[in-house]
Structure 1
Amino acid sequence: MKAVLFDMFGVIARVQSPESMSLLERTAGGDPDRFWVAYWSERPPYDRGEVTGPGYWQAVFARLGSPLDRRLTEELIAADLASWSEIDQEAVDLLGLLADQGVVLGLLSNIPEDLAARYEATQPWLERFAVRGLSCRIGCAKPEPAAYEWCVRELGLPPEEILFVDDRAENVYAALRLGLQGHVFTSPERLRDTLRTASR
C-alpha cells in the first residue's frame, strides 16, 4: 500500500446528527418521511455539480408539492451545510500521522459545491490530500466506477497499491471490483489495524 484514498462523510467528517436532521425537518415542514425521500432522491445531481443549492431545493420541494420562497431556500441551505460540517478530530489527527509517514493521501467524496467551498474555507487539513476527488467537480460520484478511476489516474499508482476507506460497504465493494484494496470504516482504531497490515 502506497496511498490511502479516504471518503469524507462518515470517516473524517461526521454524518448528520439527529439534532441537525430534526432542524432540517422543522425548517422544511410537512411530513418528515416524505421529506427525506425527496432529499435523497434529488441529491445525486447536486453532488455531481449539475445543479446549485437553490436548484436542488427547488427539485426537493417540487417532489413534495410544496411552495418554496427565497427566504426558506436560504434557511434550508444553511441548515443542510451545518448538518454536514462536524469533524471527527481523531480521524483528522490520523491523516497527519499518515502524511508524516510518507503515505500519499487522496480524498473521494460525494459532496455538493456549496459544501466543498465551505470545507475549503474552514478546514486547512484538506491541504494534506495530494488528490481531491470531489464529486461536484469531477462530474461523477461513488459508487460510479468513473469516480474511482479518476482518483487512480490522479494518484498515478496501480489500483492494488491504493487502500480505499469508506463507511458504506457498497462504495468499498465498488472499489474492490476495480482492483483497489478496501476497508469499511467503523472506527479509527480498526482503520489503524488495517493500515498496519496493509503496509507490511
Structure 2
Amino acid sequence: MSNVIVFDLYGVIARTQTPAARQRLEQLAGISGAPFWDAYWSCRPDYDAGQESLAYWATVADRLGATFADVPALIEADLESWTEVDEEMVDLVVDLADQGRTLGLLSNIISDLVPRFEARHDAWLSRFHALTYSCHIGVAKPDPRAYEICAERLGVTPADVIFFDDSERNVIAAREAGMTAEVFTGPAQVRDLVAAQGA
C-alpha cells in the first residue's frame, strides 16, 4: 500500500445523520419523507461546491414549492447533524499518522460546516497533511478535478494514493482519476490492507 492514504469524511470517519436529526429537519421544514429528502439531496451538489446556505435552502424550498418558516433553524439543525465522528476511525487516523503515513482528507462538505467541524475535531484533523474540501475548491466528488486537486495538495500524483470512500460512485471516479480506491466497510478493512502490505 502507498504511504499516502486519503479518506472521505462522512460515512468513513464522520457519522452521517441520525434518524432523530433527520426527523428534526423534517419537522422544521414542515415536509417529511421522500419529497423533502429528494429536494435536499438533489440540490446538495451546488451547496457542497460552495453555495451559500440561504441560497441552498431557497433552492430546496423552490424545488418543493414551499416556504420554510424558520430557515436559520433549518441551517443550524442541518449543521449540527453532521458533526459526530466514529471514535474507532479517529484512533485509526492517529495510528496511521504515528506510523509516518501521509494522510489526506477529501470531503464533499458545505462552507458553514467546516469551521464548526474543525473547531470540534481539530486534535485529530491536525494529523492530516492536507484537508481538501469541496466547498473550498469549487468542485465535489465524483468530479475528477476533486481527486486531482487532492493529490496535488499532498504533493503526489493520483497513482500514489489509496482512497477510501463509502460511495461506490466516488470510488469508481477515484479509480478513473488514477487512484487505487476501495469502498469503505470499516476500520478493520483499512488495518487489514495496511497489514497486507507489510506496514
Question: What's the TM-score bracket when you normalise by the shorter of the two chains?
Answer: over 0.9
| Aligned residue identity for 2:98 | D
Preserved CA contact (<8 Å) 2:29 2:68: no
CA RMSD of aligned residues (A): 1.2
Deviation at 1:101, TM superposition (A): 0.4
Could you tell me which residue of structure 2 aligns to residue 57 of structure 1?
Answer: 57
> 1:149 — aligned with what?
148
- Structure 1 residue runs without a partner (length 5+): none
Q: Deviations over 1:92-126 (max 9, x none)?
A: 01010000000001000000001111111211111
* TM-score, reference length from structure 1: 0.94
Q: What TM-score do the two structures reach when normalised by structure 2?
A: 0.95
State the distance in 2 between where 1:148 and 1:199 align.
Answer: 26
Q: Where does residue 88 of structure 1 map in the other structure?
A: 86
The 5 Å alignment of 1:36-75 reads 36-49=37-50, 51-69=51-69, 72-75=70-73
1:183 aligned onto 2:182 = yes
Shift of residue 127 of structure 1?
1.1
Shift of 1:198: 4.1
The question of whether the paired residues in 2 share the 8 Å contact of 1:183 and 1:191 is answered with no
Greater shift, 87-96 or 59-68, is seen at 59-68
CA contact (8 A) 2:30 2:68 kept: no
SS in 2 for 1:141: coil
Matches within 5 A, 1:104-123: 104-123=102-121
The aligned residue for residue 130 of structure 2 is 131
Q: How many residues align?
A: 197
**Pairwise CA distance, 1:33:** 1.3
Whole-Å Cα distance in 1 between the matches of residues 172 and 196 of structure 2? 19
- For the 8 Å contact 1:183–1:194, the answer to whether it is kept is no
For the residues of structure 1 that align with 2:73 and 2:22, how far apart are their CA atoms? 14
Instruction: Report the CA distance between 1:199 and its aligned residue.
Output: 5.2
Residue 16 of structure 1 aligns with which residue? Answer: 17
Assess if the C-alpha contact under 8 Å between 1:109 and 1:135 holds in 2: yes
Determine what percentage of the aligned residue pairs are the same residue.
Answer: 47
Runs of 4+ with >4 A deviation = none
